[in-house]
Amino acid sequence: MGSTQHLISRLSTVGSGVNISVTEAHGEVSAEVECSQLHRCLQLLHDQPDLCFEQLIDLCGVDYLDYGKDDARANAGGTSPRFAVVYHLLSVSHNHRLRVVVRLEEESLTVDSVIDIWPVADWFEREAFDLFGIIFIGHPDLRRLLTDYGFVGHPFRKDFPLSGHVEMRYDEEKGRVVYEPVSIEPRVTVPRVIRERGSGERNS
């Protein structure tokens, strides 16, 4: 049995009461789990000796807005929840990697924190909160990480304007940084190619 198939067979024994959907593509294994069962599932993936995912390599948010609209094969009908949190796990003991996905409805962007399982999740969860607005229940210090404290919105959401909502500058009279409405108009940048005269001719 290959390494990938071995991992898939082990995932079938994660634990009773945990519904986990496992898929394999391009030699990579992914598992999707319900939000209500996420923490228990990840705890078992960490603790069970035959799985032993000791390391959380990465945690990130995903926004599926407009995903599949131009491809009938993907997300047909747009029925899947708009957001997801993706966990990339590594088992050093068994040399296995696993991607765990939990999907979140836009109206309920909350999921349990996994800091108690992998302390490294601290800043990963703060980043996902800052950029996507996902709330991690139980996080001890869920503050913005990459944007300013007064920042409006979540810039990695697909419907966030490219120019943002506000701009900042230093005001000499007030002696501090001030926020103002964006003064530039959103526009689509189209690359412009300038060619020398005759460069496209056959004998040029």
Q: Considering the chain, what is the average pLDDT of its residues?
A: 86
Beta strands in 54-153 (DSSP E): 55-63, 83-91, 96-104, 110-112, 135-137
Q: Where along the chain do its domains lie?
A: 3-147
For the segment 171-197, the average pLDDT, to the nearest whole number, is: 75
Task: List the one residue out of 136, 140, 119 whose CA is nearest residue 128.
Answer: 136
pLDDT at 191 over 80: no
CB 100 within 8 A of CB 33: yes
Q: Would you state the structure tokens that stand for residue 8, as one six-digit string? A: 């898939």
Mean pLDDT of 70-83: 62
Q: How far is CA 193 from CA 188, 189, 198, 204, in A?
A: 16, 13, 14, 18
More confident residue, 60 or 4: 60
Average pLDDT on 40-46 reads: 95
Question: Residue 180 has what pLDDT?
Answer: 80
Global confidence as pTM? 0.80
Q: What percent of the chain has pLDDT over 90?
A: 54
* CATH T-level assignment (fold) for domain 3-147: Beta Polymerase; domain 2 (3.30.460)
Of all residues in the chain, what percent carry a pLDDT higher than 70?
83
Task: List, for residues 88-134, the tens digit of each pLDDT value.
Answer: 999 999 999 999 999 999 899 999 999 999 999 999 999 999 999 99
- Does the structure show a pLDDT above 70 at 201? no
